[in-house]
Chain A
Amino acid sequence: MNTYICRYCRQPSDPNSPTCPLCGAPVDIRSSVSDSGWVEQPAIKDMARLQFGQSHLQIAGTTVPVAEFNLAPNDWIYFSHHVLLWTDPATRLTNMPMRGAWNRKMAGMPLVMVEGRGPGHLALSDNHAGEVIALPLQHGQQIWVREHRFLCATGNIRYDWYPSDLWYETGDGNDREMHYPMGQFGDVFGSHEGPGLLLLHAPGNAFVRDLQPGQSLLVQPSALLYRDVSVRMSLHLEYPRNMGFAFWHNRWSYRSIWARLFGPGRVAVQSVYQPPEDTEIIVNHSYATTHHW
């Protein structure tokens, strides 16, 4: 078998298959790249199969795709119970407790993951129109993922979570309020004991770009889908020029709150996002660059 490097998952793959067996990306299409260098992540073809371990999964549907797993006896995956769509009675489901229950509860993250063990079938889907993104991880490879985008991972992928370090504070006294435009925590997944597979769900469409060393980019914080752990990020606050009216507004209502990403590494964004609220004046924040036009 000839090998080639899949341009989407960047792993050695099979050019004779219509879709990459590791990430499901179509092999026989031209890359769709915007003038500024964003590569559109192609949707996984309906009924495409992906291989991992002795098991495989199949993607069904294109609006809200379903990931249907056929788990071999020694393979297992984990996921949040919210995304379970159906299961064979034979598939074994057990709890997988997470550390830091109180902090996870406060951040709105699932407290308990579910392990699904083969042999058997089960299927997962998220609750938004969008795309399933398959990220095969080589042994030792790590990836940062924005919270709530995780769909599932194979058992040999280690899951940890860290404060996102992007925050700002508004109000004073009893009205003081913390804001986390990218979520309070970020998920970090790393493969150990061989290669593994991580599935994400991206609402809308997904786009990928490689940042060169030192190159920086501003993105809506809630649009960031994943990034290599080599990519650093910080807050960037941008205020429009005062055009002589509503002068008090440009301190908050028309400001932009960005995540500034620094290369090198790969970053991916999704086209559905929620801009940070226009709230009161920022009184404190994590490390940030600021620009007043």
Chain B
Amino acid sequence: MIQCRWCQAQNQPGTTSCQTCGAPLDEKDKVSDSGWREAPRLRDMTEFQFSGSTCQVEGELVPVAEVALHPRDGVYFEHHVLLWKDESVPLSSLNTGGGMKRTIGGMPHIVTVANGPGRIAFSRDAPGELVVLPLHPGMELDVREHAFLVASHSVQYSFVRIKGLVNLLHGGSGMYMDRFVTAGAPGMLLLHGNGNVLQRTLRPNEKILVEPGGFLYKDSSVQMQAAQMPLKTGHLRHGMYLAEMTGPGRVGIQSMYVHHHAD
């Protein structure tokens, strides 16, 4: 058997891409000297499975995730990432709670649900990569707002408010993060990262400082708080803040980002 180095799933000998996450199995890992691992660049038309459904990734500049839904499967997503669908695929809405607070925070308080059977496709509107994160039971992942592309129905969706006044005022990742949790069953989560996506696993109490706009996702075990740098920027001599991540757990970043507190 071949173990996928991205999602750790086992694959039959002779397969060239992981059946669980689509990562190429016949390429060397791309890990920088300081330990950042590039998210696997999925080959055009790569397919992988989740539950009884299949996802195919098309394109490489702004990739599209095309899902062939099994009759008993469903996925949910923010409605503006829907690229096309079969006419027969039913859509419904799911209230995430938090209504007005999330609206004020720029987050959708309703996500759309699509159920099988049928085909449906998703993409975001920036050059970047699809990050495929199979979630094993009991996992919790926090994702920056508007980076989530689609998740399988077995993944529970909630959100966490970024705590602390300093985080709200200076942390560029916004007021809320999406939280994805798996209970008893595994699930599939697809994100869109702008530019290139890199992941690093922090040891317990290991720290890294990340531009808040570059933050993409983290295990919920990773603590995040704003850290002021000994720098002043811009005409008004603003303080500069970075997101201090403290392990243990994975941290994912994107190389293209919107800078929220640039001057």
State the A residues within 8 Å of B (CB): 46-47, 49, 58, 60-66, 68, 70, 81-82, 84-89, 93-95, 101, 105, 110-112, 114, 121, 123, 125-129
CB <8 Å contact, A87 and B209: yes
CB <8 Å contact, A111 and B234: yes
Task: Give the residues in chain B near A46, CB-CB below 8 Å.
Answer: 30, 38
Of B89-97, B108-116, B152-160, B251-259, the stretch lying at the interface with chain A is B251-259
Judged by a CB distance under 8 angstroms, whether B141 is at the interface is: no
The verdict on A86 contacting B208 (CB below 8 Å), with A64-B194, A112-B233 known, is yes
CB <8 Å contact, B257 and A127: yes
CB <8 Å contact, A70 and B234: no
CB <8 Å contact, B214 and A85: yes
Per DSSP, chain A at the interface is mixed
Closest CB of chain A to B237's CB: distance in Å? 8
Closest CB of chain A to B194's CB: distance in Å? 7
Task: Give the residues in chain A near B198, CB-CB below 8 Å.
Answer: 60-61, 66
Could you pull out 21 A-B pairs where Cβ atoms are within 8 angstroms? A46-B38, A47-B30, A47-B32, A49-B33, A60-B38, A60-B198, A61-B255, A62-B41, A64-B194, A66-B198, A68-B32, A82-B262, A86-B242, A87-B208, A87-B242, A88-B208, A89-B207, A95-B232, A111-B234, A111-B263, A123-B36
Residue of A nearest to B60 (CB): A63
Select A65's contact among B196, B235, B258, beta carbons within 8 Å: B196
Interface string of B121-148 (1 = CB under 8 A from A): 0000001110000000000000000000
CB <8 Å contact, B211 and A84: yes
The CA of A105 and the CA of B237, in the complex, are separated in Å by: 12
CB <8 Å contact, A86 and B255: no
CB <8 Å contact, A66 and B255: yes
CB <8 Å contact, B259 and A60: no
Judged by a CB distance under 8 angstroms, whether B186 is at the interface is: no
CB <8 Å contact, B257 and A89: no
The verdict on A58 contacting B209 (CB below 8 Å), with A86-B214, A94-B230, A114-B231 known, is no
CB <8 Å contact, B209 and A86: yes
CB <8 Å contact, A58 and B33: yes
CB <8 Å contact, A66 and B196: yes
The CA of A60 and the CA of B39, in the complex, are separated in Å by: 11
Most buried by B among A46, A65, A85, A110: A85
CB <8 Å contact, A86 and B196: no
The count of chain B contact residues (Cβ–Cβ below 8 Å) is 39
Closest CB of chain A to B119's CB: distance in Å? 27
The CA of A123 and the CA of B242, in the complex, are separated in Å by: 13
Judged by a CB distance under 8 angstroms, whether B165 is at the interface is: no
The verdict on A68 contacting B233 (CB below 8 Å), with A87-B209, A87-B242, A88-B208 known, is no
Can you list the 7 inter-chain pairs with the closest CB atoms, starting with the nearest? A64-B195, A61-B196, A129-B127, A125-B255, A64-B256, A64-B255, A86-B210
CB <8 Å contact, A86 and B211: yes
Task: Give the residues in chain A near B127, CB-CB below 8 Å.
Answer: 63-64, 129
* CB under 8 Å from chain A, chain B span 204-263: 207-211, 214, 229-235, 240, 242, 244, 253, 255-259, 262-263
Q: A46-B30, A64-B127, A64-B255 are in contact. List 20 more A-B contacts (CB 8 A).
A: A47-B32, A60-B255, A61-B38, A63-B129, A64-B195, A64-B256, A68-B34, A70-B33, A81-B233, A82-B259, A84-B242, A85-B214, A88-B209, A89-B244, A93-B231, A101-B235, A112-B233, A125-B256, A129-B127, A129-B256
Residue of A nearest to B229 (CB): A93
Residue of B nearest to A129 (CB): B127
Most buried by A among B32, B229, B233, B258: B32
Closest CB of chain B to A254's CB: distance in Å? 31
Task: Give the residues in chain B near A58, CB-CB below 8 Å.
Answer: 32-33
Residue of A nearest to B243 (CB): A86
Task: Give the residues in chain A near B242, CB-CB below 8 Å.
Answer: 84, 86-87
Task: Give the residues in chain A near B41, CB-CB below 8 Å.
Answer: 62
CB <8 Å contact, A61 and B195: yes
The CA of A68 and the CA of B262, in the complex, are separated in Å by: 21
Closest CB of chain A to B80's CB: distance in Å? 21
CB <8 Å contact, B232 and A112: yes
Closest CB of chain B to A117's CB: distance in Å? 12
Task: Give the residues in chain B near A81, CB-CB below 8 Å.
Answer: 231, 233, 240
Task: Give the residues in chain A near B34, CB-CB below 8 Å.
Answer: 68, 70, 88, 121
Task: Give the residues in chain B near A95, CB-CB below 8 Å.
Answer: 231-232
Task: Give the residues in chain B near A112, CB-CB below 8 Å.
Answer: 231-234
Interface string of B179-204 (1 = CB under 8 A from A): 00000000000000011101000000
